[in-house]
Amino acid sequence: MKRLLDQVMIMFGREPKKPAQITERAQQLHALKRMTNKDEFKAAKEHVRAHQQVSHKWRNRRWAALLAANLLFVVSFYFDIQILEGALTASRFIGFHLIDLNSALQVMLAHKHIIVNLVIGTATVFVFWLLVGGRSFCSWVCPYHLVAEWAEKLHLYLVDKKLVSDQNINRGLRSAFWLVFAALAWVTGYTVFEAISPTGILSRALIYGPGVALLWVLALLVFEVFISKRAWCRYACPIGLTYGVVGIFSPLRVKYKLEGCFHEGDCRKVCLVPHVLDTVIKGRAADTEVPIGPDCTRCGLCVDTCPTGSLTFEVKGLSKLI
């Protein structure tokens, strides 16, 4: 419970720190890694490296799911087949209401009146993302995430050429934005955030055709390429935080196993939210197995990249059942 609370606070913006309590078994493993002969350890590491098969399994699955979800909206409208009508902010899947949690929140706060369809759609989406991991919405559905991933590749190329460097920003800013936009909706009576939400803008641009609003999305991408890596998703987007909160109690998550890990940090390099992987740093794991916190988008890049299989997807409770 303490650990979960810590993970939640880290999601809200606190910097992770070394856990105060480490289980005995984990302490033994940490000690063992320190005592092992350096050369043997290095040889083992290189052996694993030599046999590592670079996989894009989860990334490919995720991109396929993301494109399928967004294209289903487009195809539904274009051919008028009425499978998935609307846009990401609100839609109907074969007639059944689905409403984005953050958009619903904005409308409820601004309008201060909630109709039945809004409740049905919001509840359905809430339960769905509770089951499949909260912020998995970000990496598996949000169209901005995909373009930001491509922008990140460009950013990393420029970093490699020493033309730019990643400038980090205070992560607490996202929590502040969440509060400010909630307050603005309530006070002004306008869904202020919806006007600049790149998720909504991109989704509507795909379905109903492009508009001037795409310039805002472009500005965000330029900022991310030249100044701060993945800045919108990391430091600003209140949608991510809303889904993050939903994911606190989600059974689907990435699990870290201490034993086989060489603490090389490949996972932290590819991660959108490296603070959730603080536990993989040498000596930081509080237990032999640590579930990754709710800010994790379940994108699976760390699972793909880990040479030792120390990071895997797990469904809480399911492994015990089987």
List residues near other proteins by CB under 8 A.
77, 80, 85-92, 97, 99-100, 103-104, 107, 110-111, 113, 115, 117-118, 121, 167-170, 173, 176-177, 180-181, 184, 189-196, 200-201, 204, 207-208, 211-213, 215-216, 219, 223, 227-228, 231, 235-236
- State the minimum distance, in angstroms, from the CB of residue 253 to other proteins: 29
- Which one, 58 or 73, has the nearer CB to other proteins? 73
d(CA 225, CA 96): 39
For residue 259, give both structure tokens.
């034993």
Show Cβ contacts of residue 177 under 8 Å, excluding neighbours closer than 6 positions: 236, 237, 238
DSSP codes, 67-82: HHHHHHHHHHHHTT--
- State the minimum distance, in angstroms, from the CB of residue 160 to other proteins: 22
DSSP codes, 283-321: TT-SSSEEE--TT-----HHHHH-TT--EEEEETTHHHH
d(CA 185, CA 108): 9
Of the candidates 309, 237, 213, 316, the one whose C-alpha atom is nearest the C-alpha of residue 266 is 309
- State the minimum distance, in angstroms, from the CB of residue 83 to other proteins: 12
Contact criterion met (CB below 8 Å) for 128 and 191: no
- Which one, 171 or 284, has the nearer CB to other proteins? 171
- Which one, 67 or 215, has the nearer CB to other proteins? 215
- State the minimum distance, in angstroms, from the CB of residue 296 to other proteins: 22
- Which one, 207 or 271, has the nearer CB to other proteins? 207
- State the minimum distance, in angstroms, from the CB of residue 222 to other proteins: 11
d(CA 308, CA 48): 7
Q: Within 10 A of 274 (CB to CB), how many other CB atoms are there? A: 16
d(CA 283, CA 19): 9
- Which one, 105 or 311, has the nearer CB to other proteins? 105
- State the minimum distance, in angstroms, from the CB of residue 319 to other proteins: 38
- Which one, 228 or 310, has the nearer CB to other proteins? 228
- State the minimum distance, in angstroms, from the CB of residue 104 to other proteins: 7
- Which one, 191 or 250, has the nearer CB to other proteins? 191
